[in-house]
Amino acid sequence: MVAVGAMSVVLRGLCFSVVLFAGCPYAYSQLPWTPIYVGQSQVDLWTRSATGCPCNFNTSSNDCACCVPSGGCSCGEALPSRCAQCGLDQHCTNMCNITLDGKQLFSKSGRGFGQIKSPYLEGPTKCTYKFIPDVGQRVELQIYRLLSIGRHNGTACEGGWLELEGGARVCGRNERFDRPVVLFSDKSVAILHMQINENTTRSQFLAYFSFASNASSSVGLPARGGKPVSNEVCDWEYDEKSCRKGCILTSPGYPGLYPPNTRCRYRITSSPRVTVNLNFTSVLLSHNHCTSDYIAVYEGRETTSSLLKMLCGNDRTNVVHVGSQLLVEFRSGPEVPPFNYNGFVATLSFVEITTEAPTTVTMESTSKTLEMIRSPSRSSHNGRYNHRDLHDHRKDQGSASCDLVVSGNEIRSGHHDTRGKLKSTVCRLNLRGRAYDTVHVSITSYNLSPVACKSMVEIFDGNLEARMIGSAKSLKRICSPAERLPRALVPVSKYIEPERYSSTGRDMTVILQRSSDSPADEEYMDVSYYFHDEREEGTQQPASVCDVEYYGLSSPPEGTVIHPEPHKLLTSQGPVKCRQHFIPAANQSINITVESSTKQASSNSCYTKCGDSGCQCVTKNRLDELDHLLLVSETGYVVSCFCGNYQEWLPVGVRSWTPVYIEWSRFSNAGLNFKAAYKFSEDPYCGDHTTKKPEGEVTGGNLASGEIKLNQYYQQKCTWILDSSMDRQLTIEVKSSQSRPCAAWNLTIHEYSKNGDPAGPKLYTFCSRDQHKNFTLDWKMNTAVVRLQALSRTPPQYTMKWRSDFVTANTRKSGPSPAPNHVTGSSSNIHDRHNHRYCAFSLTIPWWILMTFLRL
């Protein structure tokens, strides 16, 4: 009966963890509590059923308890209906004053954990339990049930208590702890005292114990790097040398209850040109007891030094300090029921002051340190304990927690599969990006079995643990029952790419909530993620899989771009198109040079041919069904196309004053490789110009300085809007010394069009073989558009002059033709111009694209 009761306590504890999570994720995430025993359908930990098995003390009876095959031993005649852990079976009826030797217990039962069920005792009385851990083990105790074991009077336990020697006292008249009271001991022998000082009739407690590996990811000893100060209970010294790999400070007994009325001092010494970075990553001190339970950080060696920071409750902070001495003082007052706090963890790192931004470096070392705790090296000090870990019930469920925190400093992409991890009811994937990161995830596969949304996967935009409640927005919730098979199990024709979700800021959280921690068929999620640095890798476009934009003013002015890496697509095969846009600001040009292709991708079905009109993809197939690369101008004009083995044509350059993009198309599984350099430059050559001269001149071919190389390509598309506020007759004179086909380059004169492309209906065309021509426009055609287009091996060479004639007699008969929008800025000057009696013409070149193909 007692055993069943205990089990229900365990299960209630688990349920509570879910409830608590839903209401208060912060507290949940801070209390690392891993149940030692997870109930199954049996009587207790060691008893499968109360009757039905042969008795070892009476061969003719089949009425004894059936024990679990591994580690369970019959209690014998004393208690035929029960089994106990082998090695403790002689204590079935009187579990008091016993010794629990980790090594022995393990050799007898194959388990490094078990249960203590004290007998019903009449007080006053006492029991002691002696735990002898093996090398590399710590003792963990989880107390679930107290019956007539003293009471707490507000400052101390009165009349009785449980105390893991040197730690907190736990007491209560009739307590079932929804979340067990957790205690840890790191001594070579840990003694648990049950002390009853008053008359009682039935005093009892129930607890689980575990000899946990000090290297365990969930219950191991996180503290590292400090040297204990002799003769002091919990004073430590830290310095740079011992913290090369990062040090960790913890309260005593972490992650268990810390001892009451304690003072611990952690002294940190560094050389002067070093930044000390102390990050309190987890703080949970007893609530509302800030005057007695606190952490104080002093700038110096003693508490008389000036106070830098004070923490209590669950304040978390990061202290960055430059100076040679730092003192962290941790103080605790009396224990406080319901004993639901566990102290603190702080990572400590030293960063030499260099030109590098210290925060970045520090965060890096911090997360490295955390990583080290989470994944203790495989070459562990003692192979036996790895073996032992396998037999620990917890470890049977998988080696690592299903929670994962990924720091964008360390890891830029990956995937997290909760299968093979601890089967907690809640698994959270916290993706924490760097300053300019956005996070992108897709749930590549999952299985959620129960009905009515009892299990779910939910994706949040933001960090759920951040202080601002409600700041994390739910992007997607997948409710059970639901399933998505991994790609490998789906026929190619039926496979649909998973949706991608993107964060608005640097953090993202994905949570799997399971209705049970021991699901019959495994419920899981497999999440692919990557971090995208907006600054370095362009601004990711929310709607597309992989389109990015580089802006002339906000992106780094120069850099390198490559083909999209497979993880960025969150899909490993199938057709994808990605565009990398380059958007120069006014008076800027963008220079892109496709430099190399790291992989030779020869293809029989398509090859690249560069000629007088740029590079082309030569194929009989549809281009959409081939891996290829395009250089495209803003208007959609394909400047160049590459496919097959195009390496021999490289480098190919593009210079443009308006946006250009590289479009990478993957049809096969691989896709083409490329590497391109880009550079935004201040370059007013083709920018916005306004001239107030009534006449002017433009000379082309300036760019073609030096000799003309064999495989050089030019594309130019320049537009001039010649506008006047006064009626005039405009004459445009064009000259060229070249004699090239009209298709290679030409200059056209258009009517002005207000909407869209300013070049309206075409009036005249000048081809280079025309040599020299005068175009006289109609009277009062005050706004005209001249456009030059070229795509040629040789740069166009020309001179374009314009001249205005005014006939004063007619000027006031009708108003001027409408001014184009482009020059409305100067229309406010019309009045001035009239007053000053001179005529002005704006020469506006708002849209001029020039692309240069270079074959060097």
Q: Is the peptide bond before 816 cis (omega within 30 degrees of 0)?
A: no
Q: Does 199 bind ligand NAG (CB under 6 A)?
A: yes
Residues between 402 and 461 with contacts to ligand NAG, criterion CB under 6 A:
432
Amino acid symbol at 344: F
Least spacing, CB of residue 475 vs ligand NAG, in Å = 21
Q: Does 214 bind ligand NAG (CB under 6 A)?
A: yes
Residues between 631 and 660 with contacts to ligand NAG, criterion CB under 6 A:
653, 655
- Determine phi and psi for 103, rounding to 5 degrees: -65, -45
Q: Which is nearer to ligand NAG, 325 or 359 (CB)?
A: 359
Q: Is the peptide bond before 481 cis (omega within 30 degrees of 0)?
A: yes
Which span (83-91, 498-506, 564-572, 583-591) binds ligand NAG, by CB under 6 A? Answer: 583-591
Q: Which is nearer to ligand NAG, 68 or 786 (CB)?
A: 786
| Strand-strand pairing, 98-101 and 121-132 | parallel
CA distance 129 to 195: 11
CA torsion, ordered 294, 300, 306, 309, to nearest 10 deg: -40
Site mask for ligand NAG (CB under 6 A), range 729-758, x = bound: ----x--------xxxxx------------
Q: Does 96 bind ligand NAG (CB under 6 A)?
A: yes
Q: Does 774 bind ligand NAG (CB under 6 A)?
A: yes
Asked whether 38 and 10 are in contact (CB, 8 A), the reply is: yes
Q: Which is nearer to ligand NAG, 127 or 662 (CB)?
A: 127
Residues between 103 and 162 with contacts to ligand NAG, criterion CB under 6 A:
121, 125-127, 135-136, 153-156, 158
Q: Does 168 bind ligand NAG (CB under 6 A)?
A: no
What tokens does 730 get?
Answer: 């405009």
What tokens does 355 get?
Answer: 């030109």
CA 678 centroid distance within chain = 27
Q: Does 684 bind ligand NAG (CB under 6 A)?
A: yes
CA 635 centroid distance within chain = 36
Least spacing, CB of residue 371 vs ligand NAG, in Å = 10
Find the binder of ligand NAG among 176, 287, 381, 692 (CB under 6 A).
Answer: 381
Least spacing, CB of residue 733 vs ligand NAG, in Å = 5
CA distance 43 to 1: 9
Least spacing, CB of residue 677 vs ligand NAG, in Å = 5
Residues between 325 and 354 with contacts to ligand NAG, criterion CB under 6 A:
none
Residues between 787 and 816 with contacts to ligand NAG, criterion CB under 6 A:
789-791
Q: Does 315 bind ligand NAG (CB under 6 A)?
A: no
Site mask for ligand NAG (CB under 6 A), range 286-305, x = bound: --------------------
Amino acid symbol at 703: L
Q: Give CA separation, 708 vs 353, 463, 602, 793, 839, in Å.
A: 52, 58, 31, 9, 41
Residue among 446, 624, 586 at smallest CA distance from 521: 446
Coil, strand or helix at 610 = strand
Q: Does 777 bind ligand NAG (CB under 6 A)?
A: no
Q: Does 165 bind ligand NAG (CB under 6 A)?
A: no
Coil, strand or helix at 838 = coil
CA 274-276-280 angle, to 5 degrees, is: 170
Q: Which is nearer to ligand NAG, 221 or 759 (CB)?
A: 221
Coil, strand or helix at 242 = helix
Write the CB contacts of 159 (distance below 8 Å, at least 6 apart in sequence).
150, 151, 171, 196, 197, 198
Q: Is the peptide bond before 338 cis (omega within 30 degrees of 0)?
A: yes
Q: Which is nearer to ligand NAG, 629 or 791 (CB)?
A: 791
CA distance 420 to 428: 15
Q: Return the DSSP state at 366.
A: H
What number of chain residues touch ligand NAG (CB under 6 A)? 56
Residues between 54 and 83 with contacts to ligand NAG, criterion CB under 6 A:
58, 60-61, 63
Q: Does 215 bind ligand NAG (CB under 6 A)?
A: yes
CA distance 397 to 395: 5
Which span (246-254, 604-612, 771-779, 827-835) binds ligand NAG, by CB under 6 A? Answer: 771-779
Q: How many CB atoms lie within 10 A of CB 274?
A: 18
Which span (303-311, 362-370, 417-425, 535-543) binds ligand NAG, by CB under 6 A? Answer: 362-370
Asked whether 396 and 496 are in contact (CB, 8 A), the reply is: no
Write the CB contacts of 130 (distance below 8 Å, at least 6 apart in sequence).
98, 99, 100, 189, 190, 191
Q: Which is nearer to ligand NAG, 14 or 759 (CB)?
A: 759
Which span (247-255, 638-646, 682-690, 833-841) binds ligand NAG, by CB under 6 A? Answer: 682-690
Find the binder of ligand NAG among 363, 459, 662, 730 (CB under 6 A).
Answer: 363
Q: Does 776 bind ligand NAG (CB under 6 A)?
A: no
Q: Does 693 bind ligand NAG (CB under 6 A)?
A: no
Q: Does 51 bind ligand NAG (CB under 6 A)?
A: no
Q: Does 217 bind ligand NAG (CB under 6 A)?
A: no
Amino acid symbol at 168: A
Q: Which residues bind ligand NAG (CB under 6 A)?
A: 58, 60-61, 63, 96-97, 121, 125-127, 135-136, 153-156, 158, 199, 214-215, 221, 224, 279, 281, 318, 359, 362-363, 366, 370, 381, 432, 586-587, 591, 593, 653, 655, 677, 679, 684, 687-688, 733, 742-746, 765, 772-774, 789-791
